Amino acid sequence: MIIAESERLLIQTFSDDMAQAVHELSVDENNRRFQPDEVFETEQDALYAIQYLSANYGNPEAPQVYPVILKEKDCNIGHVELVPLENGEWEIGYHIGMTFARKGFASEAVKAFMPVIMKQFGLDHIMGICAAENCASRRVMEKCGFVMEFEGNAMYHGEIRPTCRFRFTAKTEE
């Protein structure tokens, strides 16, 4: 099922036949470096993750993760996600495989995804958190209208390290 669409991309629900692509995208250098909890060492590990994530679509206490499909090639190039934080807020996440990086796909996917997922979950804002050294992720958030609220040492993937925290606030109609 298609969740959102942009000029070049579809954001849709997972299917089991995406396991190989999810595995391959997850083991690239950038994903290992910046999202180590989203690395699937085998295709079977990726399939288990897909099945877990698919079973939780719409669950307000579980991550909402969707593959990003490049229309032109009909292939999975990454994912975009909304993840609950411990304090009741939600965080945006995204990864585009290195083969497809630096072409604006992450920004395009986030811009298409945010209005849909924010409406679905009744959110007026979304957080964005990244390693301070992750210049590409910082650029995506800035392009998508996120505003930096914090830069400094904080817990990130289980360790204290330089981190940036951004916030996107939906414009309210007057």
Q: What is the pLDDT of residues 103-114, one digit of tens each?
A: 999 999 999 999
pLDDT for 171: 80
User: Per the structure block, which two tokens stand in for 89?
Assistant: 């807020």
pTM as predicted: 0.90
Alpha-carbon separation of residue 169 from 95, 115, 148 (angstroms): 22, 11, 12
Q: What b-and-e string marks burial along 6-42, b requiring 16 or more CB atoms within 10 Å of the CB? A: bebbbbbebeeebbebbbebbebeebeebbeebbbee
pLDDT for 17: 95
Report how far Cα 77 is from the mean position of its chain's Cα atoms: 12
Which parts of the chain sit beneath pLDDT 50?
none
**Number of residues written out for the chain:** 174
- CA neighbours within 13 Å on the CB side: how many for 49? 23
pLDDT for 40: 81
pLDDT for 82: 97
Smallest CA-to-CA distance from 133 within 162, 166, 104 is with 162
For residue 150, what are the β-bridge partners? 165
Residues 164 and 148: their CA atoms lie apart, in Å, by: 7
pLDDT for 172: 65
